[in-house]
Amino acid sequence: MGVPSVFLRTFGCNFRCRGFGRDRDTIPADEAMNPEVVRILGLNELNPYNSYGELPLVTTGCDTYAAIYPEFKHLSPLYTADALAIGITDLLPHKEWRDEHLVITGGEPLLGWQRSYPELLEHGAMAGLKEITFETNGTQKITNEFHDYLFVEWSRHARDYDKLTFSVSPKLSVSGEKWKSAIRPNIVAQYQELGYTYLKFVVATEADAEEAEQAVSEYRAAGFGGPVYLMPVGGVESVYTLNNRRVAELAMARGWRYSDRLQVPLFKNQWGT
Ligand code: SF4
């Protein structure tokens, strides 16, 4: 938190997380779209949105809905690795990587995009980059090819720095996703072989924290040894401030860590944060 970082948001996710912000008995069925997103698509038909920045925010379901529903894919530009490396380096204050980190997020950044990262990270414009973080839901295996790249090439490239972090946010039932698909301890154990790995659960209530305990015991049984964080649900300030202190207490009571959502008080929730 507080490290100057470039966030690269990839398109596509294997989940929909329709449950966030809803009572458990009002979570839309698996095949249904989040009703708030349905409403936004209706508005889009009347008056088409031309960029992410124009899209309304949602208070239920996945808050990066435009990065997961194919109906919004046209708003995500498709870049070559070359154009992307040059474009994101150009965002930096010194036009080169110094202390900044690259955070690759989504959607789910460890879907098919794994094929493209070596070309991006080996690009000349990325030469000074020393630290990458994948923000993942923890359900996607690292392919053999990408594993070899991270293990050999990226380690050499980043030398003695921390270099690689997996920020794993497993989805509890508050998300609306099913336990069996969402809690994948053996996959997270694989990440741990490659880089610093922690678990970060988004919670609102004591029941969520108890569920997180159950999940942590499954991850521990598979060999996961890293730290555990709780983060308050609520991408919008009104929801977030209702439960951040409570979530900090739930974390402390278990000897776990608390993660704030620094972007909410600093920038509010909006596209681009
Ligand atoms: S895993 Fe993350 S990106 Fe995917 S639907 Fe859930 S909240 Fe959205």
pLDDT in tens, 221-269: 999 999 999 998 876 666 667 788 999 999 999 999 999 888 888 887 7
Of all protein residues, the one whose alpha carbon is nearest to atom 3 of ligand 1 is 107
Query: Ligand 1 mean position to 107 CA, how many Å?
Result: 6
For the ranges 103-107, 114-118, 162-166, 209-213, the lowest mean pLDDT is seen at: 162-166
In this structure, the dihedral spanned by the alpha carbons of residues 84, 87, 92 and 95, taken in order and rounded to 10 degrees, is 110
Structural Rg of the chain based on CA atoms: 19
CB-based contact 20:205 (threshold 8 Å): no
Give the model's pLDDT for residue 240: 65
Give the model's pLDDT for residue 237: 65
- DSSP tag of 182: H
Strands (E), the chain: 5-9, 101-105, 131-136, 163-168, 196-203, 228-232, 257-258
For the ranges 39-53, 150-164, 219-233, the lowest mean pLDDT is seen at: 150-164
Best residue among 8, 15, 30 to mutate for probing ligand 1, ranked by most atoms within 8 Å of CB: 15
Whether pLDDT at 160 is above 60: no
Instruction: Report the predicted TM-score, pTM, of the whole model to 2 decimal places.
Output: 0.94
Look at residues 103, 105, 107 and name the one whose alpha carbon lies nearest to residue 72: 107
